[in-house]
Structure 1
Amino acid sequence: MESQTVEHISECFIKPSHFPQDWKQTIHLTPIDLGCLSLDYIQKGLLFNKSPLLSIQAFLDRLKHSLSVTLSHFYPLSGRLATKITRDPQSYVVYIDCINSPGAKFVHAKVNLRVSDILSPTYVPCIVEHFFDHYKAVNHDGHSLSLLTLQVTELTDGVFIGCSQNHSVVDGSSFWQFVNTLSEVFQDDKILGSDQEETLNIISRSPNQERWFPDGCGPLCSLPFTHHDQFISRYEAPELTKRIFHFSVAALARNKAKANALCKDRGITISSLQALSALIWRCVTRIRMLPKDHIIKCFTTVNIRSKLKPPLPPNYYGNCSQAAGKVTTAGELLENDLGWAAAQLTEAIAKLDDNAARETLAKWLQNPSFYRTRRSVNPDMIIFGSSPRFNMYGNEFGLGKAVAVLSGHDNKFDGKGTLYPGRQGGGSIDVELCLCSNSMSALEKDDEFLDALNFS
C-alpha cells in the first residue's frame, strides 16, 4: 500500500461569493496568533464511504459552490499573510491581507486504495499524510501559500475530505466551526440558493471576526525582528509510529471512577478527559524507562474564550487557547498513583484563569516567543491537542456519517496525542498517539494501559 501515490487531478482557487457589509481588507494578528507563526498548519479530515451512485463531478461542483458561500462568512481564509516592515521607528507587523489573494485552494485527487486499506492496519498508513495540502509547511508560509486548502481525495470506494488551515489564523475551535458551517451550507439548498443578504442570516453560527488584543497591545502588534529567519525554524520529523486508540464509554467511566476514588481526600473532581490524559502520561513515561530524576512535562491545549473577563463569545474566530500542564520528574509521577497525576493536570487547567492568561500574554509582549513543532526524539513531554468536544462526526456532505477522522503529517512528534470524539458517540474518545516505534511497541504491552483500553 505504501507504494501507492496520490494523483492530483486538478486544482483551482475559490473566492468568497460575496463579502459581509462590515468586512475588513486587513486583519491584524493577535499575540496568540503571532506565536503560532513557526508552527505547522492544522490538518484534519473526514473519511466517508462512497455510494456507487455518486457523481463525483456533481459532488465537486456542489462542494466548490458551498466553499465559496462559506468563505463569505470566513473570508480571512481566502486571503494571505503579509508583512509590513519599517525602520524608523523599527516595526515588523504581520497581518492578514483579505483582498490581494487568488482565494482558498481546492484540490481534486485520486488514489487506488479502498477505505479498508486505510482503516484495517493497526497503524495509520503514511499515505494519509498526502491526503492534505501544505505538507511540511509552517504558518509563516501563508505569505505565499493559501491559508485554506480543501483537498478531496477519491478512493475506489470512498471519499476523503482533507482540510488544511493556517494555525496563525485559526485554532481548533475555529477550524471546526468552519468545517461545521461548510457542511451545513452543503446540505441546505436554501442557503446555497439564497441571495447575499439572506445568506448572512441563515447559517446557524456566524463567526465573530473581531480579533481580541490584551491590555497594553493595540491592533498593530509589532515584532522585534527585521527578517522572518530570525524567528521561523523548520525541522525534519523522525520516524514515528501513529496509532488511534479507541476508548469506550465504559472504559472511560471506569478510569474516571478510579481516579476520583484515589482523589477522594483531595477535594478535586476529575473529568473523564483528565483521567485519560493522566493514564496516558503515566504509561508512556513508564515505557520510556527514564531515570527517576528526569524532568518530564504533560500539557494540554485549553480554550480560554470562556476564561477571560469579560468572556469572549464561543464563536470568536481566531486563536484563543493556551497550554496548561504539569512539570515534574519521572520518579515522582510513577511513585504516585493515577489520582495524583490526574489531580495535577486538573489543578493546572483550573489555574488557567483570566489573570493567568493575561499574565502569560503580558510576558509574551515583553519577550515574544514562538511555538515550535518538536520533531526531535526527546522523551520528556506529552502534549494533547484537539478536543473530543469538537463536532467532527456531524459533518456529512451528503455522504452519510464519516467512518473516521484522520490528521496529516504536520504538528507530529514523539509524545503528541490528538483527541477526537469516538465515532460511536456517547462520550467515547479516540486518541491518536505518535511515538517512536520502540515506545509504541512497549505501550502495546503495558498492563495498566491495556487494562484501561480493553475494559468493556
Structure 2
Amino acid sequence: MVVKIKGCYVLKPSTPTLQGSLALSESDQIDTISHVSIINFYRPDQNFVSQPDAIVNTLKDSLCRALVPFHPLAGRLRWIGGGHLELDCNGMGVQFIEAESDSKLDDLEYDYLIPTVDYTLPIHELPILLTISHAVVDGQSTFHFISEWARLAKGEPIGVMPFLDRKAFQARTLPAGNTLGLDHSEKKKTTVAMLKLTKQQIEKLKRMANEGNDYKNSGTKPAYTRYKTVAGHIWRCASKARVHRNEQPTAMGVCVDLRSRMQPPLPQGYFGNATFYGVARSLAGDLVSKPLGYASSRITEAIEKVSNYYVLSAIDHFRNQPNLTRFQALHALGIAEGDLYGNPNLEVVTWSTPPMYGLDFGWEKEMYMGSGTYDFDGESFLLPSPEGDGSMVLTLCLQVAHMDAFKKHFYEDIILHKLYSKL
C-alpha cells in the first residue's frame, strides 16, 4: 500500500490564547503518558469532492478555531524533575498531515496512516496533538475535543466549553498505598484482532455470569452488566490462551471514569485525564476453573473500590512520591515498570460513555471509527456497535503465539457452555 504525503503543517490557534504553565494532575502523569490514536473514515459528499482542497481547508480552518478554547493542545509538555510533567501553554501549535492513497478501504493497513511519534526527541519538542498525548487528556476529553472541532467545521458554535483548571483533583486524604505495582514482561511480537460479539452472544454470557447470582430475589445484588460480563470472559480466555499455571497470579486493569464518582462531581467539560484504574486480581487456576460469575465478581469489586476516598488517597500518595517514573509507561521506549500490560496481565477499556460515533464534520457521520494501531500486549478496547443493535466489538492486542488460542476460547466457550450445563 502506498500513502503519499502531500503536506505537513503546524497549525496554531486562530487568535491569541493564554500563555504560561498549566499544572497537570497526578491522574495525568501516571500510567500511559505516550500518544494514542483514533481513526475515522468518512465518505465525503460531492460538494466537497468537486472543490479542490475543500476538505483539507475546512479541517485546517476549524482546527485553528478549535485550538482557541482548547489551547492546551497547542502547547508542549516538559519535564520538571522527578518524573513530573507540566504543560507549557505556549501556542506552538499542532501537527496536521495531508496525505492521499489510491488503495481501497478494505486494503488499507492502518500502520501506514498513523503518524510515527519520535520519542527519542525531547518531550518538549513533541506536539501534543499529532495523534494525541495521553498525558494531557483521556478518552472522554479526546472525544469532547473532536466533537467540538466537528461542530466548528460545520459552522456551528461550541456546544460545551472545556473546563481547563485541573485543581479539581486536589487530594485531601492520607496515602492509600501503591495501586499499581504489577510486573512488566519482556516485549514479544504482538498482533491485533477485532472480534465481534452479537447481542445474542452477549446475552448468553450475561446468563452464564449470573448463574447462581441471587440478584432477582435479593433486591440488593444487581446483575452483572454486559461490560463486567464480557470483560470477565476476555480475562478468562486470555489466561487460557496464555496457558497459565494454576498458581499464576493475574490482574486485569479496569479503567473507571471519575467524572461523576468524585464528590463533588467534576465540572462539566472537565478537560484532562479523569480516569483511574481499579485492579482485579486472581489466581489463574481460580479464574479458569470457576464459573464466569467469579471473574465478573472480581471485576465488580475492583470497580467498587474506586471510591472518592480511594481516588483522593491514591492521588495524595502519588503526589508525595519523589519520582513518578516507575508509575509511568512510555511504551515506545520500552519503559513500562509497574504497568498493567503484558502477560500475565491485561486491561479492558470500554468506550461506551464518550460521543464517539456520529462525529460529523460536514459530510455526515463516519463509515468507521476505532482505535489506531498499538502493540501493547494485553491492551484491549471494547466498543458498542455503531448501529445500536446490542452487539460489541473487541479490539485486542496479544502476543502472536497466543492469539489463535484466544480466538478459539473466545467463541467456543460460549457455545460449549450449553453442552456442559446439560451434563
The whole-number CA distance in structure 2 between the counterparts of 1:449 and 1:136 is: 41
Alignment of 1:3-14 (within 5 A): 4-14=1-11
Normalising by structure 1, we get a TM-score of: 0.78
Code of the aligned partner of 2:161: S
Per-residue CA deviation, residues 73-93 of structure 1 (Å, 9 max, x unaligned), is: 1110011123456xxxxx886
How far residue 362 of structure 1 moved from its aligned partner, in angstroms, is 1.9
Per-residue CA deviation, residues 40-90 of structure 1 (Å, 9 max, x unaligned), is: 2121110223456614511100111110111111110011123456xxxxx
Per-residue CA deviation, residues 231-250 of structure 1 (Å, 9 max, x unaligned), is: xxx99963222111122333
The whole-number CA distance in structure 1 between the counterparts of 2:139 and 2:342 is: 25
Residue 47 of structure 1 contacts residue 406 of structure 1 at CA under 8 Å; is this kept in 2?
A: no
Residue 13 of structure 1 contacts residue 104 of structure 1 at CA under 8 Å; is this kept in 2?
A: yes
Structure 1 residues 181 and 6: alpha-carbon distance in aligned structure 2, compared to 1, 3 A threshold: same
For structure 1, which runs of at least 5 residues remain unmatched after alignment?
86-90, 119-126, 150-163, 192-201, 218-233
Structure 1 residues 330 and 116: alpha-carbon distance in aligned structure 2, compared to 1, 3 A threshold: same
Determine helix, strand or coil for the equivalent of 2:95. Answer: strand
- Which of residues 159, 163, 188 in structure 2 aligns to 1:208? 163
The whole-number CA distance in structure 2 between the counterparts of 1:169 and 1:92 is: 15
Residue 263 of structure 1 contacts residue 340 of structure 1 at CA under 8 Å; is this kept in 2?
A: no
Task: Please state if 1:95 is matched with 2:86.
Answer: yes
The whole-number CA distance in structure 2 between the counterparts of 1:17 and 1:395 is: 22
Alignment of 1:404-415 (within 5 A): 404-410=368-374, 412-415=375-378
Task: Pick which of 250-259 and 75-84 moved more.
Answer: 250-259
Alignment of 1:307-326 (within 5 A): 307-326=261-280
Structure 1 residues 365 and 128: alpha-carbon distance in aligned structure 2, compared to 1, 3 A threshold: same
Determine helix, strand or coil for the equivalent of 2:240. Answer: helix
Structure 1 residues 339 and 275: alpha-carbon distance in aligned structure 2, compared to 1, 3 A threshold: same
The whole-number CA distance in structure 1 between the counterparts of 2:129 and 2:65 is: 14
Task: Please state if 1:133 is matched with 2:124.
Answer: no
Residue 262 of structure 1 contacts residue 338 of structure 1 at CA under 8 Å; is this kept in 2?
A: no
How far residue 177 of structure 1 moved from its aligned partner, in angstroms, is 0.6
Matched residue, 2:94: 104
Matched residue, 2:180: none
Residue 306 of structure 1 contacts residue 313 of structure 1 at CA under 8 Å; is this kept in 2?
A: no
Determine helix, strand or coil for the equivalent of 1:179. Answer: helix
The whole-number CA distance in structure 2 between the counterparts of 1:392 and 1:423 is: 9
Code of the aligned partner of 1:185: L
Structure 1 residues 300 and 129: alpha-carbon distance in aligned structure 2, compared to 1, 3 A threshold: farther
Task: Please state if 1:31 is matched with 2:14.
Answer: no
Alignment of 1:56-455 (within 5 A): 57-84=53-80, 94-99=85-90, 101-118=91-108, 127-135=109-117, 137=119, 141-149=122-130, 164-187=131-154, 189=155, 191=156, 202-212=157-167, 213-215=169-171, 238-264=188-214, 267-367=221-321, 368=324, 369-372=326-329, 378-410=342-374, 412-446=375-409, 448-449=411-412, 451=414
Code of the aligned partner of 2:96: F
Determine helix, strand or coil for the equivalent of 1:425. Answer: coil
The whole-number CA distance in structure 1 between the counterparts of 2:366 and 2:415 is: 26
Structure 1 residues 147 and 437: alpha-carbon distance in aligned structure 2, compared to 1, 3 A threshold: same
Runs of 4+ residues over 4 Å off in structure 1: 50-53, 234-237, 373-378, 447-450
Structure 1 residues 446 and 65: alpha-carbon distance in aligned structure 2, compared to 1, 3 A threshold: same
How far residue 171 of structure 1 moved from its aligned partner, in angstroms, is 0.9
Code of the aligned partner of 2:93: G
The whole-number CA distance in structure 2 between the counterparts of 1:370 and 1:447 is: 31
The whole-number CA distance in structure 1 between the counterparts of 2:43 and 2:193 is: 21
The whole-number CA distance in structure 1 between the counterparts of 2:210 and 2:289 is: 18
Code of the aligned partner of 1:106: F
How far residue 283 of structure 1 moved from its aligned partner, in angstroms, is 1.2
Give the superposed CA RMSD: 2.9
The whole-number CA distance in structure 2 between the counterparts of 1:439 and 1:51 is: 43
Determine helix, strand or coil for the equivalent of 2:403. Answer: helix
The whole-number CA distance in structure 2 between the counterparts of 1:186 and 1:452 is: 47
Per-residue CA deviation, residues 136-171 of structure 1 (Å, 9 max, x unaligned), is: 649x9541011112xxxxxxxxxxxxxx11111111
Determine helix, strand or coil for the equivalent of 1:148. Answer: coil
Code of the aligned partner of 2:41: L
Residue 388 of structure 1 contacts residue 429 of structure 1 at CA under 8 Å; is this kept in 2?
A: no
Residue 300 of structure 1 contacts residue 384 of structure 1 at CA under 8 Å; is this kept in 2?
A: yes
Residue 209 of structure 2 contacts residue 229 of structure 2 at CA under 8 Å; is this kept in 1?
A: yes
